[in-house]
Amino acid sequence: METSTSLPGLLRICIIAAFALLVSCNSALRAEPTPGSGPAAACDDLTRRALTGIEEHVWAPLQSLRSLERECGSLAVYRQMRAQLESFAGNHAQALEYWDRNYRRRNDDAEAADTAQGFVREIKAESAVAYIAERSSDQQIVMINERHHVSSDRLLTLSLLDPLYRQGFRYFAVEAVWPGDDINQRGYPTKNTGYYVRDVVLAEMLRHAIALGYEIVAYEMADWQKDTPDSRSKQARRDYWQARNLLDRTLAKDPEAKVLVHCGWAHLQEQATASWEPMAHFVREIAGIDPMTVDQTRLGERSEPGLEHPLRVESERRGLAGVDPVILLTEDGDPIQIGTGVDLRAFSLRTQFVNGRPGWMEMLGRRAAVTLAVPECRESACIIEARNAERADEVAYDRVEAVRRNSIVLYLPMQADVELLLFDLEGNAIGRRPAATSSPPRTLTSCWTR
């Protein structure tokens, strides 16, 4: 590794730093004011102490955080951590809800509502996968971003792995992967691969990339780079070193390389501002390459339509969305521009829930929905993980919370030896057995909805 920090220590550092960075990374939103420093400081300390157990099970602090709802639920740090852990536990709706409690629409979005209705009459929609794949053939770097608490934001990148590989892309650079993890040699992700990699969709994205033949590239700033003398701000220093690491581990050793990058939030903004110097800006500055940048955060699904960008709401109302993520185009075929700094804005359908689970957990047909009996969860809440029976350290195929239920639906790979591991919310094991299904797998038709 390029850092002397142990993985458990690195995990805790990354978690604490991640939530401090999430707000600044999302340039399209702004936070509400927080209460005075007294209660805020106390709750900040309580929420960080609640991280106990997260090294073993990324969802383990969830019950502790929930117990702080009344005391700390109005504070941004609590809501951000709560959203992230709800996401890890498979609770998509709750993740959106808690994140959105921190944010409101920007004034420019409110102004956009006045013109969106007439504007949408003049535009059309095209499959984002087809559009990006067609235009990436002559690109050397393609960047796609995500909101870290929204698992479905990873599906567009998963969709693009196959077509971009056929075009010669061989490097898959992922912000969430920690430097030093030997995922390329091992062939699958573990809890030591990265904090966000413990999400079941992100883990599947990495599995599929490795199976296709991509080299996974970790490019996050290392500890020694944090201490390098530099006049830049902490934010700019991080993004500069992300860009340097990305380029050093791809184009520097393979000048003709084609690189797919999956990053968080505004790191793919191509222009620097007075308050933000993003990674993509430094890539352009250092390598002289103009990457294709695809943002999913501005037009992304929120907990309710009233919080979404008016262009998304009006486009959806007029039926411009299909069964895949889409790019909005003018009548002349040019991509619609919302703000500046990125080439394309993509958005997906609203999540449709099937038996309490997001339909997009089908993951492009790579998963089948099966019903499983869980008598251990009849009297209390528990977490069920479906794991590879032969690789105990591999990130789960699926993970769901069951609250006083006799059965649950899991999305499982159709050709794998899977076992179920059941835990209480403190992380204590309460059951383990092969994943014998009580109903046959269903044939799936779409990665987003049925």
Tell me if 304 is assigned to some domain. Answer: yes
Residue 273 has pLDDT above 90, yes or no: yes
189 and 255 inside one domain:
yes
DSSP 196: G
**How far is residue 414's CA from residue 150's CA, in Å, rounded to a whole number?**
24
Identify the pLDDT of residue 446. 42
Cα-based distances in Å from 193 to 10, 17, 349: 11, 17, 30
The model's confidence at residue 227, banded by pLDDT at 50, 70 and 90, is confident
CA atoms within 13 A on the CB side of 146: 23
Residue indicated by tokens 């479906």: 386
User: Is the CB of residue 385 less than 8 Å from the CB of residue 433?
Assistant: no
SS3 label, residue 264: strand
CA atoms within 13 A on the CB side of 368: 14
Tell me if 443 is assigned to some domain. Answer: no
Identify the pLDDT of residue 29. 32
Lowest mean pLDDT among 134-148, 185-199, 240-254, 298-312: 298-312
Strands 344-347 and 292-295: parallel
The model's confidence at residue 47, banded by pLDDT at 50, 70 and 90, is confident
Residues 6+ positions from 429 with CB-CB distance below 8 Å: 421, 422, 423
Tell me if 239 is assigned to some domain. Answer: yes
Which domain-ending residue is among 298, 321, 347? 347
239 and 335 inside one domain:
yes
Return the CATH number at 210.
3.40.50
Identify the pLDDT of residue 8. 47
Tell me if 1 is assigned to some domain. Answer: no
Tell me if 282 is assigned to some domain. Answer: yes
Identify the pLDDT of residue 179. 94
Identify the pLDDT of residue 1. 36
The model's confidence at residue 27, banded by pLDDT at 50, 70 and 90, is very low
Tell me if 448 is assigned to some domain. Answer: no
Which domain-ending residue is among 105, 138, 164? 105
Tell me if 446 is assigned to some domain. Answer: no
Lowest mean pLDDT among 17-26, 121-130, 224-233, 289-298: 17-26
- Six-digit token string for 419: 């076992």
Identify the pLDDT of residue 24. 37
**How far is residue 32's CA from residue 76's CA, in Å, rounded to a whole number?**
8
Query: C-alpha angle 112/116/121, rounded to 5°?
Result: 160
- Burial pattern 267-305, b for ≥16 Cβ within 10 A else e, equals bbbbebeeebbbbbbbbbeebeeebbbbbbbbbbbbbee
SS3 label, residue 346: strand
Higher pLDDT, 73 or 323: 73
Residue 23 has pLDDT above 70, yes or no: no
422 and 382 inside one domain:
yes
154 and 302 inside one domain:
yes
126 and 48 inside one domain:
no
375 and 425 inside one domain:
yes
312 and 340 inside one domain:
yes
The model's confidence at residue 193, banded by pLDDT at 50, 70 and 90, is very high
The model's confidence at residue 221, banded by pLDDT at 50, 70 and 90, is very high
Name the amino acid, one letter, at 342.
V
- Strand ordering across the sheet containing 429-434: 398-403, 381-388, 418-423, 429-434
Four-point Cα dihedral 182, 184, 186, 191, nearest 10: 60
Lowest mean pLDDT among 206-210, 301-305, 317-321: 317-321
336 and 303 inside one domain:
yes
**How far is residue 117's CA from residue 256's CA, in Å, rounded to a whole number?**
44
pLDDT in tens, 429-438: 999 999 975 4
CA dihedral over 133, 134, 135, 141, signed as positive or negative: positive
pLDDT over 90 percentage in the chain: 71
Tell me if 377 is assigned to some domain. Answer: yes
78 and 205 inside one domain:
no
Query: How high is the mean pLDDT of the chain?
Result: 87
Domain encompassing residue 289: 110-347
pLDDT over 70 percentage in the chain: 84
Which domain-ending residue is among 52, 76, 105? 105
The model's confidence at residue 115, banded by pLDDT at 50, 70 and 90, is low
pTM: 0.90
The number of domains in the chain is 3
Identify the pLDDT of residue 81. 93
